[in-house]
Structure 1
Amino acid sequence: MAMKTWKLSTGLLSVVVVGASTVVQGCGTASTSSSGSKDTSSSSGGVVQLTYWNMWSGKWEQVVQKMVDQFNATHPNIHVNMLAVPSASGDQKLLTAIAAGDPPDVFTEWNASIGEFAAKGAVMNLDQFMTGKYAGLKNWFYPSVTQFGTYNGKLYAMPWTENTYALYYNKTMMKQAGLNPNDPPTTLAQLFTVQNKEWKFGNGGVVTQMGFYPSGNFEHLMPAFGLSGSDLFTNGKYNLLNTKAENDMSYIAQFKKYPYSQVSAFTSGLDSAGGGSTDAFDIGKEGFTISGMWEMGQIQADDPSLSYGVEPLPVGPGGNANSTWINGNYNMIPSGSKHPEQAFEFISWLAGYENAAWAAEAYPTGGWVPNSPEITKQPAYQKWLSQDPVRKQFVNVLNSPKSTTDPVTPAAMLYETQLTNAEDYVLQGKKSVTQALSDLQNQANQELQNDAK
């Protein structure tokens, strides 16, 4: 799923730490919530009641609720009560609850806010629970997936299901452009040349069809240039003025040849032109796009007849083939959780640890990429992959040690938001590559200084 971002309040996070320290001392006692209702997260009748918040809605909420129901059915001493909170305000709602001494026991996070939560003590360090049967948990995951949940070498958010990315290509549009639909580009240079043949314009230069447009793809293209999170963050500061980052943004800058205003007008008008869809690729109006496995489900809903293929991300100079940028769904235990040990048991179960056969059956219901090779190799998951070989592209890249994510820092949310702005400035020709990266670097490092105060 696509990530939505917003700026967390540093001031509120400071309040959270004070409030959380008070809550921990009273763990396990019945209380009244900040809304005045009885606290359902306390133990009752020998059954521990856990409160679980996430930001899903619609069909996704139903998928997760079914998993929660299965946990409850198999764990008679723990009962999980799930609440879906609005995605646009989920992080802020969580922080408010922690500050008020009434946090949930578990929160699912997919935004780049984990570093800020961890730095301010708003969520628990999960390493403390990794003893006994959980001692080998970290090594059970694909090595690359733990990066998104790790801050200062400690795991604060447990990997659940992953977002990996690949290149989708429209076979029909390739054929119409005189290209071989079974020979997609494998380098970024080839992609730029090939996609250029697929653009179409109407009267007044109005865009009617796109080849490829990389707005929002700087992060996805990081492996293509051998760019890792450790390249972007060194010695406690953001370092964006390095050759790999400049090559990444320079590739995006090539697309300023296509009028930004016309592209924006084209994409903003898709909801009416496409019968409700806002995805140009899904309705056959874009030749190439970088996306995750969920795109397959959207295509099935928007245009089941679409002829398309999927290939690993094309590579650029110094790039890493068959690798990807990673984010996904991660579970945190907020500071002040009344039942942290049971909360850890719940999120470990969801992650499939010592429960891989169940996860292999459950994850396909959401079209999800697993967090561990132990889940991937299960017969049920292999069967699901074989039903559509395209799916394998999104799982195989997790085996690459070169797959990466953004640096996890207290300024990661601001960095991600301002990165999108930097890309747009470059595509509009308002800033050079160097200026855009320099400004972004200064903004992110200033945020780090503000957070340290």
Structure 2
Amino acid sequence: MKKSTRTLLALGLATSLGLMSACGGGGDAGSDESADTGPAFTTNATGDLSAWGFENADEVGTSRLDYAKQKLNGVSIKIDATAFDAQKFTTRAASGEVPDVVQMDRRLVGTYAAQGLIRPLDTCFSAHGVDPKSQYYPSVVDDVTYDQKLWAVPQFYQPPAIILNQRVMEKAGVTAADIDTSKPDALLAAAGKMYVASGGNPETLGFDPVATGQSELWILGLGGQLIDAEGVPTLDNPANAKALSFLKQLMDAQGGYAKVKSFTDSFDTFGEKNQYVADQVGAQVNAQWYVNVLTPYVKDVQISAVPFKNADGQPFTVAGGTSFVIPTAAKNPDAACAWAVNLTSQDAWMAAGAARAKTIAGTPGAINTGLFTGSPAADQAIRSEYVKESDNTGFNETIATYYDVVSTGKSYGASPAGQQIQTEVQNAITSTLLGTKEPDAALADAQTSAMRAYNQVAG
């Protein structure tokens, strides 16, 4: 129980020592019962279930909720459909007044696992006959694996790729082959050809790397490392500076980071004058969901896509998405397990695919871009059933690109300092792009802060 006690002291939650001593983290998930992990999960789903998640659920979410409710017909389900809040979760977990199941970003799972605030789910999966290694993409499984145990039920997988603006590219004489992240010099040249400024301020960005939003994609894609195999931060890895240096070059070639950020902040990203309609970008890194944003404007944009490539020239992406965790203090863990497993089953995803197809059928000109679920079988089944060729070649190519890259994903990795690593990478990128620190110095400072967080939790 030393791990849980250290965590509580670090968080200043000494009053909850009794709770955590009764049901802290660690132990052997393969045993039937352990003082550390609690009893093994069973399929006995009855009683009341409290869940936290599904904020602003669309038809993809509501159809899966309906499916899971039908499967758990002996369970009364109450959902807190608000956004996840880390401080709120930690406080509620320490007090024991916590929901039975919580939806959160997979990047946070390792942190809460190390703190003893959530339960390992190996016996949850086995109780329901689910083999995570066959149901989910390997990178998605890696996201929720810490200390050789599985700590969450994954859902969704949003791979990033590069969406091209063919109008801007053709005007500048740039081809899709020129947008190659494995060839930094060629990419800088292509961005320079497409870049347009007025009065020293950007009017069109040749290439928007989304430097702060996709910083870890760049670091991992160009050969860097965020954590080691044990979850220890490695932000000062010498290879990481390569990505920061290139992003600084790219920003400087397009007016500098301050001007680029001011320009991109002005984008009507979700509206009818978005950056592709208004020709404000020649190419931009985007997660798969952004293709859905562009579909209403199919007549106003000319897009295509290419994969992000790693330093070896191979397609590369990272495994972003959410998951369901079961807090250590959950009062109805068996129902929580059954609910999460059913929500992410093949049948639930097919119900979601049908619901999305129905919505699209009722929207003139809409294009079905598919669903990216975290499960390769579900992805392919939905694609085969509902994703049909449209009369827009560019959108067809874009949709196909995301399907092509999803299997190349790499996990960000699970770490006790997962939350802090995210924050410190952002700090390092920002200070580098603004020119206040050199990449090596920025990453060294980030590593110091990340290791402080790691040691507070993991000792």
TM-score by length of 2: 0.79
Counterpart Cα distance in 2 of 1:302 and 1:360: 22
Aligned residue number for residue 385 of structure 2? 383
Matched, 1:287 2:282: yes
Aligned residue number for residue 150 of structure 2? 155
| Aligned match for 1:117, one of 112, 128, 143 | 112
1:228-250 CA-partner distances (Å, limit 9, x unpaired) = 55xx3256632233343222222
What are the within-5 Å matches in structure 2 for residues 275-424 of structure 1? 280-281=275-276, 283-301=278-296, 304-316=299-311, 318=312, 321-352=314-345, 357-358=350-351, 360-361=353-354, 368-378=371-381, 380-387=382-389, 388=396, 390-400=398-408, 403-424=409-430
Instruction: State the 1:65 CA deviation.
Output: 3.1
Aligned residue number for residue 262 of structure 2? 265
Aligned residue number for residue 40 of structure 1? none
Q: Does the CA-based 8 Å contact 2:60-2:353 persist in structure 1?
A: no
1:290-347 CA-partner distances (Å, limit 9, x unpaired) = 111111122235675111111111333x45x122111101111111212211211111
* SS of aligned partner of 1:270: coil
Q: Does the CA-based 8 Å contact 1:270-1:277 persist in structure 2?
A: no
Instruction: State the 1:395 CA deviation.
Output: 3.0
Unaligned runs of 5+ in 2: 1-7, 25-44, 360-368, 390-395
Residues 358, 268 of structure 1: CA spacing in aligned structure 2 closer, same or farther, 3 A cutoff? closer
Residues 276, 371 of structure 1: CA spacing in aligned structure 2 closer, same or farther, 3 A cutoff? closer
Matched, 1:200 2:199: no
* SS of aligned partner of 1:124: coil
Q: Does the CA-based 8 Å contact 2:233-2:447 persist in structure 1?
A: yes
Q: Does the CA-based 8 Å contact 1:141-1:373 persist in structure 2?
A: yes
Q: Does the CA-based 8 Å contact 1:385-1:391 persist in structure 2?
A: no
Q: What is the aligned-residue identity percentage?
A: 22
Matched, 1:167 2:162: yes
What are the within-5 Å matches in structure 2 for residues 179-190 of structure 1? 179-180=174-175, 183-186=177-180, 187-189=182-184, 190=186
Instruction: State the 1:382 CA deviation.
Output: 1.7
* SS of aligned partner of 1:169: strand
Aligned residue number for residue 129 of structure 2? 134
Counterpart Cα distance in 2 of 1:414 and 1:110: 14
Instruction: State the 1:170 CA deviation.
Output: 0.5
Residues 122, 293 of structure 1: CA spacing in aligned structure 2 closer, same or farther, 3 A cutoff? same
Instruction: State the 1:391 CA deviation.
Output: 2.3
Counterpart Cα distance in 2 of 1:281 and 1:305: 8
Instruction: State the 1:275 CA deviation.
Output: 9.3
| Aligned length in residues | 410
Amino acid at match of 1:73: Q
* SS of aligned partner of 2:157: strand
Counterpart Cα distance in 2 of 1:370 and 1:448: 31
Over the residues paired in the alignment, what is the CA RMSD in angstroms? 3.1
Instruction: State the 1:13 CA deviation.
Output: 6.4
Instruction: State the 1:138 CA deviation.
Output: 3.5
